[in-house]
Amino acid sequence: MPSDHPPRDSSSSSTREGWLRDFALLLRLRGVDGARIGDALAEVESYCDDSGQEPKEAFGEPVVTRLEAKGSVIPDWRAGNGGPGRKYPRRGARRDE
């Protein structure tokens, strides 16, 4: 089923929030539990606060963005609860329907 939203370019990961979101999505895809994801996000934020760098500068482009570009991960847009839609990744080859 085609997405109701246009694909987002990788620039969404240029903000700290966007990078952290993409990083969390990647960890979730790998089956990492929520508590460990929270710990990893806190570690990234602490490092960035201490170093003065943004996550993209310190760690590079989020892998989930690269996986989307290859078609290995397909963004599945779902309506937000009183806010904007949210992107949820799912595995699989991209299909144009």
Overall average pLDDT of the 33-48 stretch: 94
Residue 55 has a CB neighbour count (10 Å cut-off) of 24
90 has which bridge partners?
74
- Is the confidence at residue 3, as pLDDT, over 70? no
Residue extents of the structural domains in the chain: 11-90
Which stretches does DSSP call E strand in the chain?
Answer: 73-78, 86-91
Residue 88 has a CB neighbour count (10 Å cut-off) of 13
pLDDT above 70 as % of the chain: 71
Q: Distances in Å between the alpha carbon of 74 and those of 15, 23, 96?
A: 21, 15, 11
Share the mean pLDDT of the chain: 76
pLDDT above 90 as % of the chain: 27
Q: Is 64 helix (H, G, I), strand (E, B) or coil?
A: helix
Convert the pLDDT of each residue in 43-76 to its tens digit: 999 999 999 999 988 887 766 667 777 777 777 7
Global model pTM greater than 0.95: no
* Owner of token pair 């949210």: 86
